[in-house]
Structure 1
Amino acid sequence: MPAPKIRDVDFRDLMHLEPHGPDTFVGIVARYPWGDRLFGGQVVAQALRAAIHTVDTERRAHSLHSYFIRPGSPDEPIRFEVERLRDGRSFCTRQVVARQSAGAILNLSVSFQVDEDEADVQLNSIPDSVKSPDDPSLADFSWGALLDRRAADASADRLGYWIRLDADLGDDPDLHLCGLAFMSDAAPSRAGRSPHPDFTNDASDRFKFIGASLDHSLWFHRESRADEWHWFDLTSHGLSGGRGLVSGDAMTQAGVHAASFTQEVLLRRRREKPAGVPES
Structure 2
Amino acid sequence: MMANLINNNDQLNLSSDCENCFGLCCTALPFAQSADFALNKDGGDPCPNLQADFRCGIHRNLRQKGFRGCAVYECFGAGQHVSQVTYEGNDWRDHPAAAKEMFEVFPIMQQLHEMLYFLNEALSLEEAKSIHKDLQAALDETKSLTYLSPKSILDLNIQSHRMAVNELLLRTSEYVRAKAGQKKKKNQKNKNHKIGRGSDLIGANLRGENLRGANLRGALLIAADLRDSDMRLTDLIGADFRDADIRGADLTESIFLTQPQMNSAKGDRNTKLPGTLRVPDHWFENGR
Larger Rg: 2
Q: Which of structures 1 and 2 has the larger relative contact order (alpha carbons within 8 angstroms, sep 6+)?
A: 1
User: Fold match, TM over 0.5?
Assistant: no
Higher helix proportion: 2
TM-score (norm 2): 0.28
TM-score (norm 1): 0.29
